[in-house]
Structure 1
Amino acid sequence: MRKQNDIRQYTLTNNKTKDGKDTLEPYTFDLIVVRRKLAEMIILHEYPLRMVEHNGFKEYSATLQPLFKPVSRNTIKRHIMQIYDVEKEKTISVLEANRSRISITTGMWTSSHQKKGFMAVTVHFIDDSWAMQSRILRFIYVPCPHTAETLCEALNDCLMDWNIDRKLSSITVDNCSTNKQMIPSLLEKLNNSDLILNGTLFHMRCCAHILNLIVKDGLDVIGEGIERIRSSVLYWVATPKRIEKFEDTARQLNIPYSKRLVLDCPTRWNSTYFMLTIALLYKDVFARLSVREKQYKIEILGTDWRLAAILQDNLKLFYEVTEMFSGTKYPTTNVFFLHVCDIRLSLSD
């Protein structure tokens, strides 16, 4: 009998081999792989778990692949936890195999809608290739009250769980009173002989947070000097019609309207820096509008602009140094003293 060839068309997919080469292979639907990829997508983009139960998602998935079976939020949660367990074991193996010591940074976060407190714990270390590595170990819910004892227990449990309590070099935290009280309690739970110089160099204060406190104290003293500028910005960004009027006036004065006015948040000094930087570009626009617009009754004095220019220059230096201190791809401890000296000399001039 004549042998008949299977003339059905196969779907080919583009896959990569271990050496990075592209290969074409027949596609085979694998429900386990699809569910894992779905879980990874939810993790990557921080989608809510309930999206898998939305009718729109179910219809889209059925259209894309009829063999896909919808899953519940509990099922996808289980897949996510399985991924977490696998990645945790990988990270533990990396930390155990690493021959250098480990530094820790930790801080508290508050969710905006539930007002719950969470502790983020991140480790930093130098691998055998002399490259700096960072891993987020935990994002722990910490029940109230957030006392030093409560934070100490949560952090110590994390260190023990990941088996890194004997490889620590330092811990960097914000310069607040609770953290100051937490560190001695944590040292009592650790074996000081496992720490560098018996733990005398264990506590490191966040450089960026120190600069933040310095700027806030300075703005509390001279902040009233820019109040008329802040009020003027508030007036001209209050409605779309006023924004349009401000933009038209800038064009009439041949001033490029490249950046929109932004109102600062008094508790965030970097937003004050952005507000002043942009407002100074439109100094003549504010002056023109104070003459033309009867409802705009805020007169910004020349002394206000001079103070704003000086303040903006100083805040620019603080902003650039803070950005450098906040880097995650390079060490920052070795440059702290140099840049703090630069700030000191700049403020003395």
Structure 2
Amino acid sequence: MARIRELSVGYIVDSNLPFTAFESTYLQELFRQLDSDLYAQVPWGRTATKKDLEDILVSKKAAIKEELNNTVTQIHLSFDLWTSPNRLAFISIFGHFIDRRHLYQSRLLAFKRQIGSHAGENIAYTIRNVVRDWGIDGKLGVSICDNAASNDVYLRNLYTTLDASITRADTEARRMRCFGHILNLVAQAFLYGDDAASFKLQSESYDMLERVEEDVEHWRANGPVGKLHNIVKLIRASPQRTKAFKAHAKEQEEVDTYKLTEESTAELEVIQNNATRWNSTYMMIERALVKQSELSSFIQELGLEADASKRVPTADVLTSDDWNVLREVSHILEPVYNMTMRTQGWGTNEGHGRLWEVMTGMEFVLEHLENWRVLYEDQTADPAAEERYTTQGEEAGPAMGVTPTLSRQPTVGQIRERASRQSRLPSRL
């Protein structure tokens, strides 16, 4: 009986259902049909389900607390903040450790309201109370968090409160930055320049104020990536135009009889990016490259429209050089995207998010980007090439103006050795 009640509560929690879920007439009749005696013995009402949840929480918390007290390592924390659709702030806190069986474990320590602003002092106050509630304040290791400046304040407040002898260098050494967030910042800087946050805020401001033309100009200044953004937005802005693009793609596929053995791409839709999630830009480019011929011919078809608002502006029409730039952007961002996807979530099978993979992945991405930079430097060293790229840069804007349209990868001879890096941690860590 206890197992049945535990499973029913697990179903409610895992599926994010209300306590009234088992009061459904259809569900109750299903239980009767399966086992009428069991149905009669188990209370299925909201009050009983809520009480079962509270009892299970107390029981499981005691088991986890014992597990935390018997770890063979320190307990390392990770946390993140989230704002719900109804504007309530929540914080989730996980503990990571090796248990006495020498197995890696992660446990959710708290998911609770974050009162006040997201300032470092407030975060430290919340996490400190959670740490003390679990009785692990003497076993705390590092904290895994994103690159927000407030997290420096959080670290100083949390660790110095728990141990007054901890120095500033000690707290800094206890900060482990989120690899996925670092990759996000790298890609954002590559796509939108040094001040990617300002680019995003400006776009969001134009969108909120419905200043369409200014938003189009804002993206256009970002070069081929921005021009593609505007084209995709124009296509997706109207259900009729989206349907017309699909119909056009099917017509193109029928004409291209030499592609009979290839998988159909006619039903694939173009993907709209945004300035917040860089991987949406990568996916937009990848899909556009797959549908390049369809997009190019559809833009030409729209150019025949009598209504200028239905045509792609001349300034947004992608040239062959623009497509080459997009192809190179895709080549450059592909490893960043793959590494982001590979290392997210829980580590499995000795990889997919394990620490060793993050360390080697960081070196892999850095070397990849440095090799491409060498290629660009070698090409722009040629006066004729530099003049050509400068001219393109004036048209393309600051973010993509320096990208050469070479559509090839660095050769072995162009790859240079770089100095190895050493990391020094405080001796007490």
User: For residues 197-252 of structure 1, what are the alpha-carbon distances to aligned partners after superposition, in whole Å with 9 as ceiling and x for unaligned?
Assistant: 85452122222212212222332237443223223223444425225314313413
Measured after TM superposition, the shift of residue 284 of structure 1 is 1.0
Structure 1 CA distance for aligned equivalents of residues 146 and 364 of structure 2: 19
1:297 maps to amino acid: R
The aligned residue for residue 278 of structure 1 is: 287
2:335–2:365: 8 Å Cα contact kept in structure 1?
A: no
Q: TM-score, normalised on structure 1?
A: 0.81
Letter of the 1:139 partner, please give it.
F
Query: What CA deviation, in whole Å up to 9, does each residue of 1:249-270 have, x standing for no partner?
Result: 3413337434432222321110
Indicate the structure with greater strand content. Answer: 1
Q: Aligned with 1:230: secondary structure? A: helix
Q: Which residue of 2 aligns with 1:233?
A: 232
The counterpart of 2:322, out of the listed 298, 304, 318, is: 304
TM-score by length of 2: 0.67
The within-5 A match list for 1:166-185 is: 166-185=138-157
Pairs within 5 Å for 1:1-349 = 30=1, 32-67=2-37, 68-69=39-40, 71-112=44-85, 114-191=86-163, 198-221=170-193, 223-237=222-236, 238-239=238-239, 241-252=243-254, 253=256, 254=259, 256-258=263-265, 259-293=268-302, 294-295=304-305, 297-298=311-312, 299-329=317-347, 330-332=354-356, 334-335=359-360, 337-348=362-373, 349=375
1:340: Cα distance to partner? 4.6
Asked if the contact 2:271–2:283 (Cα under 8 Å) also holds between the matched residues in 1, the reply is yes
Identity, % of aligned pairs? 21
The answer to whether the 8 Å contact 1:103/1:169 transfers is yes
Structure 1 residues 154 and 291, CA, compared in 2 at 3 Å: closer, same or farther? same
How far, CA to CA, are the matches of 1:241 and 1:157 in structure 2? 55
Partners of 1:223 and 1:132 in 2: how far apart? Answer: 45
Matching residue's letter, 1:284: S
Alignment CA distance shift 1:99-1:130 (3 Å): closer
Greater shift, 55-64 or 157-166, is seen at: 55-64
Q: 1:225 to 1:131 in 2, by over 3 A?
A: same
Following the alignment from structure 1 to structure 2, what is the Cα–Cα distance between the partners of residues 74 and 270?
45
Q: What residue number does 1:24 align with?
A: none
Distance 1:136-1:335 versus aligned 2 partners, 3 A rule: farther
Report deviation, 1:343.
4.0
User: Which has the higher mean CA deviation after the structures are superposed, 279-288 or 63-72?
Assistant: 63-72
- Which structure has greater helix proportion? 2
1:160-201, Cα deviation, whole Å (9 max, x unpaired): 111122112200111112212211111221125689x85452
Would you say the 8 A contact 1:192–1:199 is kept in 2?
Answer: no
- 3-state SS of the aligned residue for 2:131? helix
Find the aligned partners of 1:155 and 1:256 in 2 and give their Cα distance: 52
Distance in 1 between residues matched to 2:367 and 2:103, nearest whole Å: 28
The root-mean-square deviation of aligned C-alpha atoms, in Å, is 2.7
Report if the CA contact (8 A) 1:100-1:127 is conserved: yes
* 1:306 to 1:190, Cα distance in 2 relative to 1, 3 A: same
Contact 1:247–1:257 (CA<8 Å) still a contact in 2? no
SS in 2 for 1:261: coil
- Residue 18 of structure 1 corresponds to none
Q: Is the 8 A contact 1:121 1:136 kept in 2?
A: yes
How big is each residue's C-alpha offset from its partner over 1:106-164, in whole Å with a ceiling of 9 and x where there is no partner? 1101212x221111111112335544221221112112322222111110111111112
Aligned to 1:21: none
Gaps of 5+ in 1: 1-29
